[in-house]
């Protein structure tokens, strides 16, 4: 007999997880299971399954744009299972809905990071003034060190 309780669609009025204006994911793609949590909770911890385990396959998700899928795999590929699923667990709270929402919020942050394009680096050159200040500082430092030596006799 297993202690896990499975739920496919979290009880939410909105059926989609909004990540950004362009990215939203159908909540039916998530599989949430609940297992007994470790840690504090008194006798309640032995009776109630409050630890939430969220499973989702970003590689097979029809809701995810291809560019976000590619960046998600590049950023979080080491966290994917061999089947291409990401598993997030939460046992911060003693309430199963709060733990489920915590998992979903962590996934939303990960997707938001993958959805935002990094700014392209524009190579810059040091200014003429900064070059001159650097050379002046080197000369001052050199002079200070030279004066530490023995005086000529």
Pick 5-115's CATH classification: 3.40.50.12780, 3.40.50.300, 3.30.160.20, 3.10.450.50: 3.30.160.20
- Read off the pLDDT of residues 55-73 as tens digits, 9 standing for 90 and up: 988 888 888 888 888 998 9
pLDDT for the residue numbered 4: 58
Mean pLDDT per 10-residue section of the chain, whose length is 153 residues = 51 71 82 81 74 89 87 89 89 87 91 89 94 97 90 70
Its pTM surpasses 0.85: no
Domains of the chain: which residue ranges?
5-115
DSSP string, the chain: ----EEESS-S-SSSEEE-SSS-EEEGGG-EEEEEPPPSS-GGGGGT---EEEEEE-TTS-TTS-HHHHHHHHHHHGGGB-TTS-EEEEE-SSSSHHHHHHHHHHHHHHHHHHHHSPPPPP------HHHHHHHHHHHHHHHHHHHHTSPPP-
């Amino acid at each position: 007999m297993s202690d896990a309780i499975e739920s496919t669609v979290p009880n939410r009025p909105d059926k989609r997880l909004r990540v950004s204006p362009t990215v939203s994911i159908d909540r039916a793609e998530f599989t949430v299971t609940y297992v007994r949590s470790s840690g504090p909770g008194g006798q309640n911890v032995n009776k109630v399954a409050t630890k939430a385990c969220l499973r989702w396959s970003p590689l097979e998700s029809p809701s995810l744009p291809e560019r976000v899928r590619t960046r998600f795999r590049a950023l979080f590929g080491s966290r994917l299972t061999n089947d291409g699923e990401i598993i997030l667990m939460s046992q911060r709270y003693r309430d199963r809905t709060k733990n489920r929402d915590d998992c979903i919020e962590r996934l939303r942050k990960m997707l938001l990071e993958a959805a935002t394009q990094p700014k392209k680096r524009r190579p810059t050159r040091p200014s003429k003034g900064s070059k001159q200040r650097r050379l002046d500082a080197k000369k001052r430092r050199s002079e200070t060190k030279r004066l530490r030596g023995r005086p000529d006799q």
